[in-house]
Structure 1
Amino acid sequence: MSAPSIARVAVDIPLPHLDRLFDYAIPPAMAAQAVPGVRVRVRFAGRQRDGFIVQVTDRTEVEGRLASLSKVTSSEPVLVDAQVRLVRAVADHYAGTFADVVRLAVPPRHAATEAADQREWPRPDVERMPGGGLLAHPSGEAFLARLARGEPVRGAWQVTPRFWADDDGVDDWTRGLVQATVAVLRSGHGVIIVVPDARDIARMRDALAAVIGLGAIAELHSELGTAARYRNYLAVRRGQARVVIGTRPAVYAPMVDLGLVCLWDDGDDLHSDPHAPYPHARDVAALRVTGEPSALLLAHHGRTAEVQAWVNRGWLGDIGLQTAERRHRSAAVRVAGDSDIALERDPLARSARLPAAAFETIRTGLTQGPVLVQVPRAGYLPVLACQTCRTPVRCPVCHGPVTARRATPGRQLDCTWCGRIIADWRCPVCGGSELRAPVVGSQRTSEELGRAFPGIRVQESSGDRVLDGVGDQPALVVATPGAEPAASHGYAAAVLLDADRLLDRPDLRAGEEALRRWLNAVSLVRPGASGGTVCVVGPAEARAVQALVRLDPAGHADRELQDRGEAGFPPAVRFVTVEGSARALGELVDLMDDVPDADRLGPVELPHPPKVGQEEPLWRLALRAPLPRGPELVRAVKNAVSVRSARKLDGAVRVRVDPVRL
């Protein structure tokens, strides 16, 4: 039998109609280096292209003489078989290409790091198992036992939102993930932990390092720099590092003998990749543990409808405390003006932005420590409207939203789209010149609270100015969602302002996202037994607000899932959106195969103006089908896009499968 002399190469070409492997002959001089997983250079369509060898074989279906590999860029295999299967599955699931996904999975090469000697990675210390976390739940204890036996168990952990600063066994997501990691390491397998951002990486790393040792942890995220990121990636691929912590690309890490994938807070939109084909780390993790049998742990304060759908189908086990016990362990949550008695005391409780209940919560909390005030928007006056007719203020040139960054003489306004300064605005509807601010930002809120509580330090955490943390002295911390700094001993109280603004957003996930952000804020407050309290300023009758008071995100997600099923939105159905010019969308529809039971919504013109160099406005076409028909719908869309690409038709289209934002 002849030695394998043909390389099947995944060429770095994102064109949909070329989404397949290409055969190249392996020159005898490259035979020793041309192995699966290495980077190569090949000639394709008259140009030199990068690629990866996916398979080496002695057979080909190509007639005639094959072109030869131009160069083996590196003899280091950086793409393993499990990754190849995962990348292919993700590309097919999201109607993308192998080339697009593999860019997300494999970091750029750093030749000096590749040639240098790797440091010795110490073995993780798995002798100590911390208390609390998952061990605080009977179902969590059983989950850990199955992990220790190496079983591919899957669970959704509903973490109780409570601040902890002691070792009495309270819930905390970092403790639970540390316990799961130790259990899996004891079984001889590797662990991947995926979190939304660098702050969560630091928190998870510190918690894990205190148990297994800092030197045994590899990090994979963009803030590391090219060399450090590639060094850690190679350590994982070579089997030296057994624990990986990172942001969404870490879910593709080439872990040897993978035993567990953990993902924290899947509802955070940072888990959704902004690059084509726009995969979500939660779904990539699910595809990975299905194709590479291993365990999965999704931990969260607020539950998404996608996770609830998996729980309802039995694909995920439910881990967590009963609702009553969860309320007992967390801060007490109340709504301003939630009863007739409260309205008798404060008739303006449902109309004032800072009702008496909110002031009382802040005043009482400041006697015990810092108080958190969460506001939906950063800036000063981020949204403006006409005082007379309530017409939103728009730029007279590009029609973009207008904001006032500070109260300045002459009332200078700035357009957030084109950056123009608007000095003399008049309403195009009624001709009025007076303005009102339906939404107040964090800067204005800080000013108002500073005047209301003289002598109290007021700190702001939002946008690019995110505080790392605060002490235990009385202070007011005004923060936007996701930018709340942790207090060293927990916040004595929290006030969640403008709850209706989060709920009124024109977004399918408005209620789900609002509840997630509120619960993450509640998790920073001391438990009720220690005096911790949370006051919500918003509509008491809203479903998300009631779920917050009950601390029942699972119940909210279940009802949300039912509503989406009735309305025909994901995850109850497979939903695909395609954006492009009207002509391009028309061509796509003509080229698509018929999918039984599929619906077509639109196309509709998008409200945003064309970008520079874009002559035609964008339109959006929505396609949906029942879940059993979902793969067929995605294939039909991808095939139609491939035909347009092969015919070199004008106009690009953007395809999103089950988009995060609708």
Structure 2
Amino acid sequence: MPTEPDHLRIARVAVDVPLAHLDRPFDYLVPEAMAADVTPGVRVRVKFAGRLRDGWVLEVADTTEVDAKLAPLERVTSPEPVLSPAVAGLVRAVADHWGGTFSDVVRLAVPPRHAATEKAEPPERPQPRWEVLPGVLGGSAAGERYLAGVRRGEPLRAVWNPVGVFGGPGDWAGGLTDAGGAALASGRGVIVVVPDADALARLSARLTDVLGAGSFATLAADAGPAARYRNFLAVARGDVRLVIGTRAAVFAPVHDLGLVVVWDEGNDSLAEPRAPYPHAREVAVLRASRERCALLLAGFGRTAEVQALVERGWLVPLGVPAQEARRLGPAVRVAADTDRALERDPDAHAARLPRDVFGVIRAGLASGPVLLQVPRAGYAPALACQRCRTLARCPNCSQPLRGDRARDGFAVACALCGPLEGVWACPECGDGRLRAPRVGVTRTAEELGRAFPQVRVVTSWSGHLVDAVDDAPALVLATPGAEPFPSAGYAAAVLMDAGLMLGRPDLRAAEEALRRWLAVCALVRPAAEGGTVTVVGEPEARAVQALVRLDPAGFAERELAERFETHFPPAARLVTLDGPQAALTDAEAAWRPVTGVEHFGPVPLPEDDAWRLTLRAPVAEASELVGALKGYLAERSSRKAPGSVRLRVDPAAIG
């Protein structure tokens, strides 16, 4: 029978134990000496299975359903309530949605404690100014209506695709500032999530200019433990109402939350690489529904997942029509897409840089820097036999060989073994000559440097990033996502090797390529100022056509229609199980009773003794499927079954 102590209090604690069969709260007695400090959200230490563990108090009650004698709390680690009831509920919902545990998700939501910072005097936090905002999002009638509703505190939900052009209607940081200012004017809090440090720096600079320094808090993992925890405490204590940060900031404990914004919602950096692998966009959707606050999903591109919400009427689009976007944006065209161009250059479709691309570069250099986006980093990322085109592999470890720059011009190397010793010979035909079927950004820069010998050449890629370029003429070569920010916009841009980006074996290859290309357009001056973007690829490709029209919404609409035809997300839910083959066979008892589930595999993975089972379920049955599989993992955990089984729901990469 439940006990009802007259004078003892009961703390329901989420213990930090990542085992699926222990994913529930446990009741502990609150000693009289700790009663004043034990409140929902504080960190505590408890004895669990004979060991001291960390935990979070979820609730304090005066009754318990546990018949056995309860153990007391060992101590209160900190009386600071860092896990608000709203965030605790969100953590539970995320864990259930993605098949994870509360312990896994709460580590994303609450940063590690920094005791010295917690005891220090908090810094002064001025109130933000929102009287004069950039006025970007309100540039359309739909945008102005949305901002007016947010100012009134209405839980409006929208998607915004700014025009892909430098400045003006392409000023995404200004548009996000408009939305944040509208919510702050209503007296409520704001969360803005961006994918990476570059976007965070740009948004922070804009907010500082408009709202004032110190009027917002930044939550990012690379800020350092003290600074991150200091900013987190400012939010948890209610000292600031505006939070910006990377993906984990979507869990920020903002008081009276009025708006959640996610920028570049299709960026894979928003997908958490640790279990249970939630995506910040989906967490934002879940949080907006739970807390009845406004939501804004934004980006130059649009994913099929967002388009599905638009077609359901759950999100309202705010962007300008494609015809207006083409008027405001740069001129976009495909290289060698006219009969006249093909007459002048018959081999244009086979050439990596057709003849008219050089004309675009020359014209652009006359008025400013020219950007060339190259999909591959390095010099020659892959090599092949000159005669039979067989991929060249290392004779020691069978890894693909690559070409690196050397003093004598070219060196063959393996990523694992280093420079190749001796002479390579093709195992198929015996030929020792090599060719580079894929050329990287370094080799491309070398070739264009020879073609334009008097022009400065700038290269940027991961590990060798250039933050910005001035408005002086220059050839700027960069891999996707590493493009330097131009002070006055690029005069022209060339998108090279479009087929390489579209040809990746991934369901989202075309969607990702268009998102990257539109981000390049957003760095180029408008057509009225001579800005042009040239794509080197097949003009018939749907993503290329959408780029020419500057129409991410139309592309997303057709992409979603294909997903429904082929039963891929978001038209269905995909769940993968990775683990020993025997464990995946045993899992059939869990998923088989769920209506409409299809299975694919198991198939072997490169890891030793690892297999993958893929399950596809109708959206309506997805929760039942995830719940059944989570129950199976809990049963395995409770009996300490050998081998590890990993559950992933709607994985980011589907290839």
Same fold (TM over 0.5): yes
Give the 5 Å matches for 1:59-138.
59-131=63-135, 133-138=136-141
Q: What is the match of residue 197 of structure 2?
A: 198
| 1:147-546 equivalent positions in 2, closer than 5 A | 147-164=150-167, 170-407=169-406, 412-416=411-415, 418-423=416-421, 424-546=423-545
Letter in 1 for 2:358: F
Q: What's the offset of the Cα at 1:605?
A: 1.7
State the superposition RMSD in angstroms.
Answer: 1.4
- Alpha-carbon offset, residue 411 of structure 1: 5.8
2:625 corresponds in structure 1 to: 633
Match of 1:320, SS state, is coil
The residue type paired with residue 631 of structure 2 is N
- How far apart, in 1, do the equivalents of 2:131 and 2:234 lie? 23
Secondary structure class of the residue paired with 1:215: coil
State the one-letter code of the partner of 2:642.
D
* Structure 1 partner of 2:653: 661
Do 2:379 and 2:405's aligned partners in 1 also have CA atoms closer than 8 Å? yes
- Residue 407 of structure 1 deviates from its aligned partner by 4.7
**Cα deviation, residue 394, structure 1:** 2.9
SS of 2:587's equivalent? helix
> In 2, distance between residues paired with 1:573 and 1:238?
41
Counterpart-to-counterpart distance in 1, 2:300 and 2:381: 28
**CA distance in 1: counterparts of 2:517 and 2:604, whole angstroms:** 34
Quote the Cα distance in structure 1 between the aligned partners of 2:233 and 2:401.
48
CA contact (8 A) 1:592 1:640 kept: no
Distance change (3 Å), C-alpha of 1:411 and 1:588: farther
8 A Cα contact 1:386 1:433, kept in partner: yes
Q: Is the 8 A contact 1:158 1:303 kept in 2?
A: yes
Distance change >3 Å, CA 652–CA 408, structure 1 → 2: farther
Equivalent pair of 1:134/1:171 in contact (CA under 8 Å): no
Q: Is the Cα contact below 8 Å between 2:591 and 2:597 reproduced in 1?
A: no
Number of the residue aligned with 1:581: 580
- Match of 1:561, SS state, is helix
| Residue of structure 2 in register with 1:14 after alignment | 18
Q: What one-letter code is carried by the residue in structure 2 that aligns with 1:253?
A: A
Q: Is the 1:336–1:538 contact (alpha carbons within 8 Å) kept by the matching residues of 2? A: yes
1:33 and 2:50 matched: no
**1:223 Cα deviation from its structure 2 partner:** 1.7
How many Å separate the matches in 1 of 2:582 and 2:394? Answer: 29
Cα shift at 1:422: 2.8
Equivalent residues of 2:404, 2:410 under 8 A apart:
no
SS in 2 for 1:216: coil
Kindly indicate whether the alpha-carbon contact (under 8 Å) linking 1:7 and 1:55 is maintained by their aligned counterparts in 2. yes
1:587 positional shift: 2.4
CA distance in 2, matches of 1:376, 1:87: 37
Q: In the alignment, is the contact (CA less than 8 A) between 2:8 and 2:32 conserved in 1?
A: no
TM-score, scaled to structure 1: 0.96
Cα distance in 1 for residues equivalent to 2:560 and 2:264? 18
CA positional deviation for 1:590:
3.8
Question: Is the contact between residue 383 and residue 391 of structure 2 (CA under 8 Å) also seen in structure 1?
Answer: yes
1:596-622 deviation per Cα after TM superposition (whole angstroms, max 9, x unaligned): 01100111122x3x3xxxxx3422111
Q: Distance in 2 between matches of 1:13 and 1:220?
A: 25
What residue in structure 1 maps to residue 611 of structure 2?
Answer: 619
List gaps (5 residues or longer) in structure 1.
Answer: 611-615
1:504-558 C-alpha deviation (Å, 9 max, x unpaired): 1111110000000000001000000000001110111111111100111111111
Q: Please give the alpha-carbon distance, in whole angstroms, between the structure 1 residues aligned to 2:18 and 2:418.
A: 37
Aligned to 2:634: 642
One-letter amino acid of the structure 2 residue matched with residue 447 of structure 1:
E
Shift of 1:345: 1.9
Q: CA deviation at 1:580?
A: 1.6
* Residue type at the aligned position of 1:151: E
Hey, what's the Cα distance between the residues in 1 that align with 2:293 and 2:417?
50
Quick one: structure 1 residues 46 and 420, their matched pair in 2 at CA, closer, same or farther if it must change by over 3 Å? farther
Structure 1 residue 486: deviation in Å? 1.2
Deviation of residue 401 (structure 1)? 3.0
The SS at the match of 1:655 is strand
> Whole-Å Cα distance in 2 between the matches of residues 445 and 372 of structure 1?
12
The residue that corresponds to 1:140 in the other structure is: 143
Instruction: Extract structure 1 runs of 4+ deviating beyond 6 A.
Output: none
Asked if the contact 1:498–1:538 (Cα under 8 Å) also holds between the matched residues in 2, the reply is yes
Q: Distance in 2 between matches of 1:98 and 1:136?
A: 42
Q: CA separation in 1, counterparts of 2:409 and 2:546?
A: 45
| Other structure's SS at 2:169 match | coil
Q: Does 1:651 align with 2:654?
A: no
| Cα deviations by residue, 1:222-250 (Å, 9 ceiling, x for unpaired) | 12110010000000011101111100010
Query: Is this contact kept in 2: 1:578–1:621, CA < 8 A?
Result: yes
CA distance in 1, matches of 2:62, 2:403: 68
1:308-360 superposed Cα distances (whole Å, 9 cap, x missing partner): 11111111111111111000100000101212222112112111011112111
Contact 2:218-2:243 at 8 Å conserved across structures: yes
Distance 1:644 1:570 in 2: 28
User: Does the 8 A contact of 1:593 with 1:636 survive in 2?
Assistant: no
CA shift in 2, pair 1:174/1:411, >3 Å: closer
Q: Which amino acid aligns with 1:126?
A: W
Q: Secondary structure at the match of 1:6?
A: strand
Aligned mates of 1:394, 1:380 — CA distance in 2: 17
* Separation of aligned partners in 2, 1:538 and 1:205: 36
Please say if residues 265 and 301 of structure 1, whose CA atoms lie closer than 8 Å, have aligned partners that are also in contact. yes
Unaligned 5+ segments in structure 2 are none
Question: Which residue of structure 2 aligns with residue 50 of structure 1?
Answer: 54
Superposed CA deviations along residues 391-430 of structure 1, whole A, max 9, x for unmatched, are: 22233444333322225659643333x3444333332333
> In the TM superposition, what is the alpha-carbon distance from 1:210 to its structure 2 partner?
1.4
Residues 75 and 337 of structure 1: CA distance in aligned 2, closer, same or farther (over 3 Å): same
Alignment of 1:578-617 (within 5 A): 578-592=577-591, 594-606=593-605, 608=606, 610=607, 616-617=608-609
Question: How many equivalent residue pairs?
Answer: 649
Query: CA offsets per residue over residues 240-285 of structure 1, 9 Å max, x none?
Result: 0111110001000000000001110011111001110011000000
Q: Residue in 2 aligned with 1:613?
A: none
SS in 1 for 2:214: helix
Are the counterparts in 1 of residues 591 and 625 from structure 2 also a CA contact under 8 Å?
Answer: no
Distance (Å, rounded) in 2 between the aligned partners of 1:641 and 1:433: 52
Q: Does the 8 A contact of 2:170 with 2:522 survive in 1?
A: no
Separation of aligned partners in 1, 2:64 and 2:399 = 56
